[in-house]
Structure 1
Amino acid sequence: MIRHCVFLRLAPKADSAELDKVMLGLGDVVRRIPGCSGFRAGPNRDYESKSPDYPYGFTLDALDAEALATYAVDPEHKALGARLVALCEGGGDGVLVFDIDAV
């Protein structure tokens, strides 16, 4: 299994209603794609004070690299991703992606 982690450095002007809509849409995409599950999104609690520049993020689980690749090229995912990038400081530079092989 692969845990796909996405951390967002939101722009000060980011519209929280738009962020909520994008997260709902991404959750729908994950539920629709075989081999993908476990979508979770929310604010970064940053209990260790290590990542204050990334106030929001989401994760999903992919059964394997093929399922994650299917998610990556999905047209709805790409459209939602473009909306998400527009909410981030520096556009795409405000998005940090981290994939973990989870056993």
Structure 2
Amino acid sequence: MIRHIVLIKFNPEVTEETVAELFQELREIEKQVSGIRDITSGRSESPEKIERGYMHGFVVDFDDWDALERYQIHPDHKALGAKLVANAVGGIDGILVLDIPVPA
């Protein structure tokens, strides 16, 4: 399994409603790309309070690297990615992405 972790530092004027709409778009992609196991998204509620401005994020679990690639090249993913960049502090600099293999 591959775990795709995305942390986003949204611009201050981006509302929680807008964030919810973006995350709903992500869930629509789940229905279109085979190999997605699960999607979790939301706002940090960490008691440690060391998010450094990355208050929102999501995790997508994929069956394998091929499923992640299908997701990456999907036109809806590209469109959502552009919206995330447009709403992040500093554009792409306001987004962190990690892809981690998870043993079965």
Provide the C-alpha distance between the structure 1 equivalents of 2:95 and 2:22, rounded to a whole number of angstroms: 14
Letter in 2 for 1:47: P
Alignment root-mean-square deviation, CA: 1.2
What's the counterpart of residue 24 of structure 2? 24
Assess if the C-alpha contact under 8 Å between 1:9 and 1:95 holds in 2.
yes
Q: Which residue of 2 aligns with 1:68?
A: 68
TM-score with structure 1 setting the length: 0.92
The answer as to whether partners of 1:8 and 1:57 remain within 8 angstroms in 2 is: yes
Name the residue aligned to 1:44: 44
The 1-side partners of 2:31 and 2:45 are apart by 25
- What is the aligned length? 103
After superposition, the C-alpha distances for 1:11-55 in whole angstroms (9 at most, x for unaligned) are: 111133222111111111023211112111100122223323200
Give ranges in structure 1 of 5+ residues lacking alignment: none
Query: Which deviates more, 62-71 or 39-48?
Result: 39-48
Aligned to 2:5: 5
| TM superposition outliers: structure 1 runs of 4+ over 6 Å | none
CA distance, structure 2, for counterparts of residue 40 and residue 31 of structure 1: 14
Identity level (%)? 35
Distance 2:91 2:16 in 1: 16
- TM-score when normalising by structure 2: 0.91
Where structure 2 has 5 or more consecutive residues not aligned to the other structure, the ranges are none
- Equivalent residue, structure 1, for 2:91: 91
Supply the distance in 2 between the matched residues of 1:50 and 1:81 (Cα, whole angstroms): 25
